[in-house]
């Protein structure tokens, strides 16, 4: 069998052909109600499929938030599997926002669930937590490399509760916790031809300088960037926030387009993609 195309190369190709916008599939209870759908696994499935239809051919990346399917139990996971199949069929790159983290065989199993080719939950990338250290993700990282998949590791997130933990200085180093994660991930991408397979999550609503993070060093590291749209960050601020690393950015929005409803979400996605392209044009 041919070697899989590395995730970083596939991501770079999406950036080139369909831009940097990523839309979240977040079937909140209030959004299901607004869309006239039941707050159930069936409603979440229909919601997800409509977002896939609206995104296909317009943008290149979707990010299903696993928790909103998981809350419906086994039927919710079945709904998510259907949405993932539809997204793959539409040629969309899928980032499963699962935020998994653990050690040993447990984290390996999480990687198998979300990154193994042929898994019912197969995605192109997953989000992960490195509270136990970047090295704790060695199993999923190895799988990602072998299977042409990606991982985005939380580093500087957009929620205010995380500031004290993520800006704390690690014992024996002059680095913050967030900067240590970013540095550890960046090293994993050193040999990549373009973008590497392992990325970081850097929120757009935080001042990365306060975290000791130098974005200029992230030439080969993909960045998943939440905080735009409903959370207040503006596309015009991207060059200031991320500097040279802006070219590596997966810009995520969800509620700001999903609030448009089933009849308006396609227009909202297209408009947002155009606004992002205009704001970041060189």
Residues labelled as active-site residues: 99
Report the number of secondary-structure helices (H) and strands (E) in the chain: 12, 8
25: tokens are: 């599939």
What is the CA angle 260-17-236, rounded to 5? 55
Quote the crossing angle between the two packed helices 41-55 and 73-89, to the nearest 10°: 10
- Tell me the C-alpha distance between 93 and 57, whole Å: 12
Are 9 and 195 contacting, i.e. CB atoms less than 8 angstroms apart? Answer: yes
Question: Where does residue 236 rank: exposed (0-12), middle (13-18), buried (19+ CB within 10 A)?
Answer: exposed
21-25 and 249-253 beta bridge pairing: parallel
34 Cβ contact partners less than 8 Å away, ≥ 6 residues apart = 259, 261
Q: Which helix (H) or strand (E) holds 181?
A: helix 177-188
What count of Cα atoms within 13 Å lies in the side-chain half-sphere of residue 57? 4
């Amino acid at each position: 069998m041919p070697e899989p195309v590395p995730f970083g190369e596939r991501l770079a190709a999406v950036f080139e052909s369909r831009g940097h916008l990523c839309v979240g599939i977040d079937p909140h209870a209030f959004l299901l109600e607004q869309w006239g759908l039941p707050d159930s696994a069936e409603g979440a499935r229909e919601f997800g499929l409509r977002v896939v239809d609206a995104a296909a051919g317009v943008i290149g990346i979707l990010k299903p938030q696993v928790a909103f399917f998981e809350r419906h139990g086994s039927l919710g996971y079945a709904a998510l599997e259907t949405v993932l199949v539809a997204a793959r069929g539409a040629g969309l790159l899928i980032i499963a926002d699962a935020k998994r983290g653990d050690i040993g065989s447990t984290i390996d199993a999480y990687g198998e669930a979300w990154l193994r080719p042929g898994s019912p939950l197969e995605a192109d990338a997953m989000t992960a937590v490195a509270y136990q250290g970047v090295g704790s993700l060695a199993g999923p990282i190895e799988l990602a490399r072998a299977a042409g998949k990606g991982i985005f590791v939380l580093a500087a997130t957009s929620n205010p509760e995380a500031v004290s933990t993520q800006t704390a200085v690690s014992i024996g180093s002059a680095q913050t916790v967030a900067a240590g994660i970013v540095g550890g991930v960046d090293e994993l991408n050193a040999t990549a031809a373009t973008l590497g397979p392992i990325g970081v999550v850097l929120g757009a609503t935080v001042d990365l300088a306060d975290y000791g993070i130098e974005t200029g060093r992230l030439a080969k590291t993909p960045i998943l960037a939440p905080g735009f749209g409903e959370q207040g960050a503006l596309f015009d601020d991207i060059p200031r926030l991320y500097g040279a690393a802006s070219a590596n950015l997966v810009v995520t929005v969800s509620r700001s387009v999903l609030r448009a409803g089933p009849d308006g979400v396609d227009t909202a996605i297209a408009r947002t993609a155009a606004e992002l392209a205009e704001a970041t044009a060189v």
